[in-house]
């Protein structure tokens, strides 16, 4: 069976969405610097962070169904990002030295990086939940990581492969994972322990997510 992999077209769409969103967030910061209130800035940022994450997740999912587990994980990503935004707003409110055009707009634009979300949604949620690491979340490069995963279902087991992006500078963690995950195997026993009968069809055979 062929491996499941993210396409170049999906990565291109993600990059276009990232660039668009970074400009949107930088514009919100400029609005604050031009006199808009912090509450207005925060409201706009929250709205468009959510839009960015939803679009990023849908691009990564492609033609695959967006499941209830996917929705749950998206809410977790958003909750974490909103916490960071609260810290950003508090810093702007408390420390005048942060109120420079370059500092504020650059930090706001950084909310337009979403590789962790993108890489998560190239996988079924049930599979992602069993992985100890994900590109964009586990590495030193953070959201600027360009590593990607491929996976296949072989005799009731999942084989997951970690690939570094050859045109990007990658960290030692990603290099190690690309060696260790060749492949990383999720066994039948792990699947049954985590999901019970959810991974079996009516004939007792394993189901591919």
Cβ-based neighbour number of residue 11 at 10 Å: 18
Q: Give 76-129 pLDDT, tens digit per residue.
A: 999 999 999 999 999 998 866 556 788 899 999 999 999 999 999 999 999 999
Same domain, 55 and 109: yes
Q: Which of 77, 92, 122 is a domain's end point?
A: 122
Q: Do 143 and 52 meet the contact criterion of CB atoms below 8 Å apart? A: no
Same domain? For 18 and 102 the reply is yes
Identify whether residues 87 and 141 lie together within a single domain: no
Q: How far is CA 185 from CA 58, 108, 137, 155, 158, in A?
A: 26, 38, 20, 12, 6
Expressed as residue numbers, the domain containing 133 is 128-209
Domain match, 208 and 159 both: yes
User: Do residue 57 and residue 117 come from a single domain?
Assistant: yes
pLDDT in tens, 25-69: 999 999 999 999 999 999 999 999 999 999 999 999 999 999 999
Whether 75 and 159 share a structural domain: no
If asked whether residues 51 and 106 sit together in one domain, one would say: yes
Q: State the pTM of this model.
A: 0.89
Residues 105 and 25 in one domain: yes
What's the pLDDT band for 204 if we cut at 50, 70, 90?
Answer: low
Mark which of 122, 142, 174 sits at the end of a domain: 122
- 73/115 same-domain check: yes
Q: Which one of 149-158, 164-173, 193-202 scores highest in mean pLDDT?
A: 149-158
Of 107, 122, 137, which one is at a domain's C-terminal end? 122
């Amino acid at each position: 069976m062929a491996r499941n992999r993210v396409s170049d077209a999906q990565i291109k769409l993600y990059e276009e969405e990232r660039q668009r969103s970074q400009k949107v967030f930088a514009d919100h910061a400029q609005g604050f610097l031009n006199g808009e209130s912090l509450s207005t800035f925060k409201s706009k940022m929250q709205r468009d962070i959510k839009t960015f994450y939803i679009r990023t997740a849908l691009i990564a999912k492609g033609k695959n169904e967006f499941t209830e587990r996917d929705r749950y994980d998206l809410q977790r990503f958003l909750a974490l990002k909103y916490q960071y935004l609260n810290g950003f707003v508090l810093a702007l409110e408390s420390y005048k030295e942060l109120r420079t055009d370059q500092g504020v707009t650059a930090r706001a634009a950084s909310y337009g990086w979403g590789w962790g979300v993108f890489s998560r949604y190239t996988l079924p949620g049930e599979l992602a939940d069993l992985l100890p690491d994900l590109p964009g979340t586990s590495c030193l490069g953070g959201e600027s990581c360009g590593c990607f995963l491929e996976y296949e279902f072989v005799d009731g087991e999942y084989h997951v492969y970690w690939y570094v992006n050859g045109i990007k500078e990658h960290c030692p963690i990603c290099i190690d994972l690309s060696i260790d995950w060749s492949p990383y195997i999720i066994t039948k026993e792990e699947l049954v322990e985590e999901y019970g009968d959810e991974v079996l069809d009516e004939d007792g055979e394993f189901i591919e997510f």
